[in-house]
Every structure is written in structure tokens, then in C-alpha cells.
Amino acid sequence: MLRLLPFLKPYRWWFMLVGILLMLIALLTTLPPWLIQYAIDEVFPTGDTTWLLWLGGGILLLSLMEGLFSFTQQVLSEWVSQRVIFQIRNQLFHHLNQLSFSFFDRTQVGDLISRVVSDTDTLKRFIAFGLLKVVTNGLVLLWIFVSLMMWSPWMGFLFLLMIPFMVHAMWTYSFRVRPAFRRIRQTTGRLTSFTRERLAGIEVIKLFGNETHEENQFQQENQEYLQYQVEAARLGAFWLPYSEVLLGFFAGLVLLAGGWLVTTGRITAGSLVGFMAYVNLLNRPIRQTGFLLSLFQQADTAAERIHHLLDQESAIQNHPGAQPFTRLTDSLSMQGVSFAYDAQPVLQHVTFKIKAGETLAIVGPSGAGKTTLVHLLLRFYAPSAGEILLDDRPIERYTVESLREKIGLVMQHPFLFDGTLRDNIALGTPDATLADIQQAARLASLDSFIKALPQGYDTPIGERGVRLSGGQAQRLALARVLLRQPEILVLDEPTASVDHLTDAHIMESVSSLMAGKTLLVIAHRLATLRSAHRILFLEDGRITGLGTHHELVTSHAGYRGFIEASGDIAGRGGV
């Protein structure tokens, strides 16, 4: 929780102001027993009734002031704590954006959502309400103690007797509720994750008639959530009865010991009544303590989760002295590159070199590591061994942003966002004109489809682009990348979901647009392979063939088998 201080620091003056108000409130709360004591000990014996008016008016005035201060303080607290949380949320989202693919591979998105949305909210409740109540209650206790000491050290001592009971109860209570709250937060994350994923895959669930199974699984997670909540509530329920008993016991003790002190003349009757009024005042802070402790424990576990996320470092970072990558003038190569997502190796000793301006086709069975290979080039992951070089310079010595700006990648499974066609195409180029966007769409063979729509480029495509066909989504992803005019273009099976004719058309416009630029393409179409300067055949993470189409067809049985199986030969006039 202490690690939150930097977030509070910009608002320290506001917190200070709130602190002053709290001190005043605490002071005002503790004044009435003084007035009572004064009335009994000093005013009643004189029989002067005008004083009573003053006293009554005084108590009324005090509560009015207290009300006014409380109001101001609550508005201020809310104002400042909302701003603190606003900053923390922004920071969390910013940090998430920095984290690398390997982090997201091993993390559940729902859990991240619950950290950004609900953990921050829990923290807010504590900062706005809990933290300040702790301060007020602490001050009230302190003022009470000071007042009692001023009346008589005997009463101060009596008051102190209660402290060990309180501390003991707080201690045991905190230790018990804490794990319960941690489990609640974890299950919240799991429940969010589960709901999010199942709703995203609702089509598959319906297709396989899996609703009942999913519902059972949901109920199981929900059941666990319920159980932890009930457990926490049961632990929480212990506090109220405990504080009732403690206060009752204490009131009895004060009356007994105080009565003896009055009869033996050690304290005045007025201060005993004042003391009893204080015992009454203690009611609220003590009852609240249980609630505050659980609020604190919830906030503390939330803070723990937030900091755990903020502590994650991105595996991919800009090295000191990294320079921007502007263009490829000489060559692109990999030297002995190996990589594994976890223990299982995915790429092993991959070595090749192509000249700037050449087209490299990457071919191989599914799961061979083709996608992984091109992802390494964009530094989505870092190789475990070997080097990737652009113009004989390791890619780590270029800035990550410039690599991703200049190397355009059309992913195998493009992701589209809720929004219009236009917004989605201009995703990486916010200042593109409509003419540019149309041009890119034309190159990707998407323009005629879009023009036929009543809303044209302003047509919303739905969440994840659900209103587009697979091929349309792929072409949109291509248009998005072409619009950025990349130096190096990487296509990961970009036309797998489009028909042969559109495919040919797309590849034609891509090669004319990228003429003289470097092109890496994962594809199996014969025409693409034939026009490539070099073909890399990847099997089980290893390069087993590297050469032109002609060379590979004559020397590489695997490649030949691949071409023959594709059935392309017959249709297009043989090898």
C-alpha cells in the first residue's frame, strides 16, 4: 500500500486540506462531553440558568459546524481520490500496452481486466472513505484520551486498559480476512476471464451444443466465488457482536471504577458523566473498525495485484543507443536463430540471407514455425540464440517502434476492431486522407466491395469485425498495412481465405506497389513461389531447403511433394 504514495504525491496539498478538516471534525466530535462535564461540575451548583442556554446553543452550533466540515471533506475526498485512481488506471493501461507477447501468452485477459477495472475501484473506496475514516477515528481516540488525562490520569489509565483488547481483535481479524479477500479477487479475475472468452466464442459453443457444459463450468467458478464471499462475510460478522460485548464490558468497568473514584473524591461527578459520554462516542469508531479493516485488507490485496502488474517488465525493450530503422539498403539475414515459446524448440539454427529488394517465399507444413519466424523479425519475441540482421546490424540495435513502422506485417489471423471500415484501414495511419485509404483498399481488392455498401467507408464492421467475411477481413488487414507504405513487407498467408482470382489480383498489386522493396511472403500458391527470388522450406523449425523454385523442385523431394499435393501444377501448365 505504501507504494501508492507516489500516486498520491501530486495531490498532497489536497490531502493536507482534507487532513485539517478531519482534525477539526474529530475535535468537534469530542467537545460535547466537555460541555456536559462543565455543566454538571461548574454550572449546576451555581443555579444559573442562562448558562444552560449557552451550553445547549453550543452543542447545536458544534454539530452544525461538524456537518458542514464533513460535507466539504467528503466532496474533497471523492474529488481527489477519483483523480488518483484515474492516474493509476491510465498508468496500468499504458503499462499493459508496453508488455510483450510472451506476457500475454501466459496471462488471462479477464484477470487483467479485473485488475484495471475492479481492483482500482476497490482501492478508490479505501482512499476516499477508509483511509480518512481511519484517520478521523484515530484522532477521536487520541482526543478522548487527552481529555480524560486532563480530567484525571485515573481515567486515562482506565481508557488505556481497553487498547490491548482492541489491538488483539484487530490483529486476529485482519489475518483471517486477508486470505479470503485475496481469493475473492483471484476468483473475480477468473470469472471475468471465463465470461469474456466464452462470450467471444459463443458461435463455437452453440455449434457444438456445448451450452450446458459451459453453464456447469460457469456455475462451478461462480460457486467458488460465492463460497469465498460467504466466508469473508462470516469472518466479518464476528466484529459487530465482539465490539458490542467489548463496549458493554468497558461501560460496566468505567461505571464501577469511576463510581468508586467519585465516591472517594478522586474525580468529579461531571467528569464521570463526561467519561460515560465518551464511552458512548467510542461506539461508532469501534463498530467501524471491523469494516475499515476489511476495506483495508481488500484494498491492500488490490494494491498488491496492481503493483504485481506494474512490476512486470517487458521482455522486449529498446536498448540504449538504439537507432531508428529507416530503410533496407543491403541485406536481411538470420544467423543461427533458435527459439522456443516454452521448453519445446520451435526454430533451430535458422540461417539465410536475402538481398534488399528481393522476394523471399517461406513454405512448409503447418506448425513448422513460419509465423514464428516472421514474428521474430518484428521483435514480438526475442530469439534464444542467434542474430537477426538488417544491413548487417542486429535488430536489437534498432528501436522497436521504427522496426514495426517500417516492416509491414499482414498477420495470419488479423484482428479488427469495432468501428468503421475507414477507421480500421487507417488504424496505423491516423492522418491518412480518404483518397489514400481508397487507394490502399483498391490495392487490396477491397474497394469495389466497399463502394457497393450503402454507407461505404463509414460502414461499421462490428466487434472483432464480425460483419466481414474471412477474406474481406484479410484484405482489410492488407490494406491497413499497405497504407503505411512499409519498407519491408511481410505477408503471413495473406490470401488463404480468398479465391484464386482475387489472390492473383492482390499479389499483382502488391508486387507492383512493392517493386524494388523487400518482400517476405508465407504462401503456397505456385505463381507466388515461381516469382520469388528465393524459397525457404521450413520443416519442424529447421530450414531443409533454400533456393529458387526451379532448384527446389529438382532437388528437394519435400518441396516437390508439396507442390504436387497443392494441385496447382495441372491447372497452371506444369512445373
Give min distance, CB of 362 to ligand ADP, in A: 8
User: Do 278 and 31 form a contact (C-beta atoms < 8 A)?
Assistant: no
Residue with cell 478522586: 266
Give min distance, CB of 543 to ligand ADP, in A: 13
Q: Measured from the CB atom, is 412 or 439 closer to Mg ion?
A: 412
Q: How far apart are CA 483 and CA 179, in angstroms?
A: 52
* Torsional sign, CA 147, 150, 152, 154: positive
Residues of the shown chain interacting with ligand ADP in the complex, contacts defined by CB under 6 A: 105, 341, 346, 364, 366-372
Question: Rounded to whole angstroms, what are the CA distances from 475 to 144, 259, 431, 488?
Answer: 74, 90, 21, 18
Q: Measured from the CB atom, is 214 or 539 closer to ligand ADP?
A: 539
With CB atoms as reference, the residue minimizing the distance to Mg ion is 371
Q: Integer distance in angstroms from the first to the last C-alpha of the chain?
A: 69
Give min distance, CB of 371 to Mg ion, in A: 3
Q: Measured from the CB atom, is 30 or 371 closer to ligand ADP?
A: 371
231 is catalytic: no
User: Do 560 and 553 form a contact (C-beta atoms < 8 A)?
Assistant: yes
Give min distance, CB of 340 to ligand ADP, in A: 9
Site string for Mg ion, 529-568 (x = CB under 5 A): ----------------------------------------
Give min distance, CB of 198 to ligand ADP, in A: 21
Q: How far apart are CA 530 and CA 167, in angstroms?
A: 81
Give min distance, CB of 555 to Mg ion, in A: 25
Beta bridge partners, 50, equal none
Q: Which does 341 bind (CB under 5 to 8 A by kind): Mg ion, ligand ADP, none?
A: ligand ADP
Q: Which of 361, 389, 353 is nearest to 534 (CA)?
A: 361
Q: Which does 529 bind (CB under 5 to 8 A by kind): ligand ADP, Mg ion, none?
A: none
Q: Measured from the CB atom, is 191 or 362 closer to ligand ADP?
A: 362
Q: Which does 372 bind (CB under 5 to 8 A by kind): ligand ADP, Mg ion, none?
A: ligand ADP
Among positions 360-379, residues that touch Mg ion (CB under 5 A) are 371
Burial environment of residue 378 by CB neighbours within 10 A (0 to 12, 13 to 18, 19 or more) = buried
- Grid coordinates representing 356 are 534488399
Q: Measured from the CB atom, is 105 or 313 closer to ligand ADP?
A: 105
Q: Which of 250, 197, 185 is nearest to 224 (CA)?
A: 185
- Largest CA-CA distance found in the chain, in angstroms, rounded: 123
- Grid coordinates representing 166 are 482492541
Q: Measured from the CB atom, is 195 or 412 closer to Mg ion?
A: 412
Among positions 393-422, residues that touch Mg ion (CB under 5 A) are 412
- Contacts of residue 93, defined as CB under 8 A and 6 or more positions apart, other chains included, come to 116
Catalytic position from the list 244, 493, 539, 551: 493
Three-state SS at 348: strand
Which spans of this chain sit near Mg ion (rule: CB under 5 A)?
371, 412
Active site residues: 493
